[in-house]
Amino acid sequence: MDKSISQIEKALEKVEKNKGKMTEDDWRVLEKELDEPLKVISDAMESDKVGVLAKVKLVALAARWTAALTEAGISEIEKQTGVDRDNWSTELEKVVNELEKTTEELEKTVETDAENN
């Protein structure tokens, strides 16, 4: 169990250090590396063979993983859209304004078509 937790901690440190730079292949390799440790932990949890200290470590690791993966996801969104998170609200406002204009134009078109028919 301790070895599995240690392997997960090492993988997490790698993700925390490189989260914005990891490629799809990096994530696949990491996933394969974690298969066995996660299976060991899962089996131990199911058979109730995990002590309190190990459970506390696992909860802390889960929180760190959540934070790291969230940050990695945000970094990927920034990469894909070319918009950094500080400007997301401005960009969303622009999209909402465009949608409102398009909706108004569609309503006018529908009204004009209804009047002509």
Structure tokens at 17: 């250090």
Same domain, 77 and 99: no
Beta carbons of 85 and 78 less than 8 angstroms apart: yes
51 and 14 in one domain? yes
Answer yes or no: do 25 and 49 share one domain: yes
**Biggest alpha carbon–alpha carbon distance for the chain:** 77
pTM: 0.64
Pair 96, 77 in one domain: no
**What digits encode the pLDDT tens for the residues 22-71?**
888 998 999 999 999 999 999 999 998 888 988 899 999 999 999 988 88
User: Do 71 and 34 reside in the same domain of the chain?
Assistant: yes
**Tokens representing 7?**
């392997």
pLDDT averaged over every residue in the chain: 89
In terms of domains, do 10 and 65 share one? yes
Above pLDDT 90, what percent of the chain? 50
Same-domain status, 6 and 59:
yes
Contacts of 19 (CB under 8 A, 6+ apart): 68, 71, 72, 75
Are 20 and 72 within one domain? yes
User: What per-residue confidence (pLDDT) applies to 73?
Assistant: 85
Torsion sign (Cα): 37, 45, 12, 8: negative
For residues 22 and 72, is the Cβ–Cβ distance under 8 A?
yes
